[in-house]
Chain A
């Protein structure tokens, strides 16, 4: 079930548009904002609200990289693996994170604190390597810098 708040926000988006299905991406983002990810049940709820089939909504949800169809940790680390970050050594950043957290790309720590994902590119190429944690950008990354950063995300 969508919460009243989610429903209210989605209906407010629909008002701007010629027909409800246009709000599909917005609706997915709203639900994810509140729950961290989009479950099968949420797909169904959104489909009902927007007068779409479940499959149509899932087709949209699975198309976009920043809509998560599986649960993620409380904090999502996005390591840029773009070509400029490759040149500047993102692999050692990834190796360090992976070892420290005990997870690989696509996995979540057992305490649910971090999910590690690749991303390309963050537009920080002149300060590579770069990554994001949740909505925060970090660049000119070094192992020492990452160590400090992680402590800020509980």
Chain B
């Protein structure tokens, strides 16, 4: 089984330095793109590979790039931004790539910037990722010294500067337009779309924002081609995926596996099954803002379209397991409290709706809830849903709540009937 993204990562030891990474074949895609390909050829190859964005939304990367105006008269400067603000509860995949192989990311960023002809790139980094920051800064320094960054990269005439911005901390910064405001030194509230960042992004200039895992792929795709990439997945979508599992399993962790393995394989073969004394009740397949999947979904292939067809989202591909000894109401309350706290406050359904939901769940958890609360909660999942809010924050928060109410309805009712949490 090929593991292009993680083959050069050894957990617990320092990432490869530039010399070691070059010996391992690193940057060969970068050299190829800059010396042998035009920006348009790079974009069309990435488009042909069907690389879907690994940040959670699964938007085709090549299509995103192709929205950037490329004619000579188009607005300049243009910018490339790496979204490394991983903060989705239950998600720890970008951290693994940032700490484990920063050169792989930089190699991909150089190609991506070349494709859209951006001369400046930013890595917007989660504040808590101190080890990643050190690794990135060291790798960037090495890349400048060796001529992979700066002026006239590898004699190609292409210039690129890369800067690391460590965030001051807020979940909404991961939303790409909120991220742009944050980079501009403002409150990180999302912007209206359209215009999309590809046309009007950082400082109103054309900007592409891509996730760490997405950008880490680019050099491999240029080197090995679109068909190779598609062949890595089991479903034809393309690529491997970093899958993670946390919760009461025997062996929580992260693995690079072909896109489209089933939930059962991930859970049993890699995570080692449930820990002794715990049984499986459900899982959020891709971070806190995804719908629950339950026992009957165990054979669902973990691919963007099949997870969507099962009523959830691939999200970040890092799964949180709900076991029988954890109260589902408390589990969902924890998540809604997070989303309520992290609402940027810009639009009313999110600012007012989420704290209301959180209070009701707190009351239910304490045993002071009423049956009518369940109807109000259900109503809120619609009211905060897509189309009613400014960005995807509240709709994301509604996902575990709506599916939780559906699958664990009896557990909610028990809290009301018994006037206490049956798990405490």
Contacts and interface: CB of A to CB of B under 8 A. Distances in A.
A123 B86 contact: yes
A108 interface: no
Interface residues of B, number: 50
Interface stretch (A1-9, A63-71, A93-101, A146-154): A63-71
Interface string A1-32: 00000000000000011100111111011000
B263 interface: no
A67 B176 CA distance: 21
Chain A interface size range: 35 or more
B35 interface: no
A121 B87 contact: yes
A84 B185 contact: no
A84 B88 CA distance: 11
B163 interface: yes
Interface in B80-110: 86-92, 94-95
B247 A66 contact: no
A81 B335 CA distance: 10
B203 A18 contact: yes
Nearest to A136: B130
A60 B254 contact: no
A107 interface: no
B330 A24 contact: no
Give the interface centre of B170, B203, B246 by most chain A CB atoms within 10 Å: B246
Contacts of A87: 246-248, 320-323, 326, 331
A26 B164 CA distance: 12
A125 B130 contact: no
Interface in B149-207: 163, 166-170, 182-188, 203
Nearest to B169: A66
Given A63-B188, A64-B170, A83 B92 contact: no
A73 interface: no
B246 A84 contact: yes
Contacts of B338: 82-83, 120
B138 interface: no
Nearest to B98: A123
B89 A23 contact: no
A123 B187 contact: no
A139 to B, nearest CB: 10
Nearest to B182: A25
A66 B89 CA distance: 17
A87 B319 CA distance: 13
A88 to B, nearest CB: 7
Contacts of A18: 203
A82 B335 CA distance: 8
| Max chain B Cβ within 10 angstroms of own Cβ: one of A16, A22, A66, A123 | A123
B129 interface: yes
Contact of B320 (A17, A81, A122, A125): A125
Contact of B168 (A59, A64, A119, A122): A64
A23 B185 contact: yes
B90 A83 contact: yes
B406 interface: no
A29 B168 contact: yes
B90 A84 contact: yes
Contacts of A84: 89-90, 246-247, 320
Nearest to A65: B169
B127 interface: yes
B60 interface: no
Most buried by A among B88, B187, B323, B331: B187
A126 interface: yes
A64 B341 CA distance: 12
B185 A24 contact: yes
Contacts of A128: 246, 252
A16 B163 contact: yes
A126 B344 CA distance: 28
Contact of B95 (A63, A66, A123): A123
B68 interface: no
A85 B320 CA distance: 10
B187 A120 contact: no
B32 interface: no
A45 interface: no
23 contacts: A25-B185, A63-B170, A63-B344, A64-B168, A66-B127, A66-B168, A67-B169, A82-B288, A82-B338, A83-B90, A83-B320, A83-B334, A83-B335, A86-B331, A86-B334, A87-B247, A87-B331, A88-B247, A119-B128, A121-B89, A121-B91, A123-B87, A135-B130
Interface of A: 16-18, 21-26, 28-29, 59-60, 63-67, 81-84, 86-88, 119-128, 132, 135, 137
Given A84-B90, A137-B130, 17 more contacts: A18-B203, A21-B185, A28-B168, A29-B168, A60-B187, A63-B344, A66-B167, A87-B247, A121-B91, A123-B87, A123-B91, A123-B128, A125-B90, A125-B320, A126-B245, A126-B246, A128-B246
Interface of B: 86-92, 94-95, 126-131, 163, 166-170, 182-188, 203, 244-248, 252-254, 288, 318, 320-323, 326, 330-331, 334-335, 338, 344
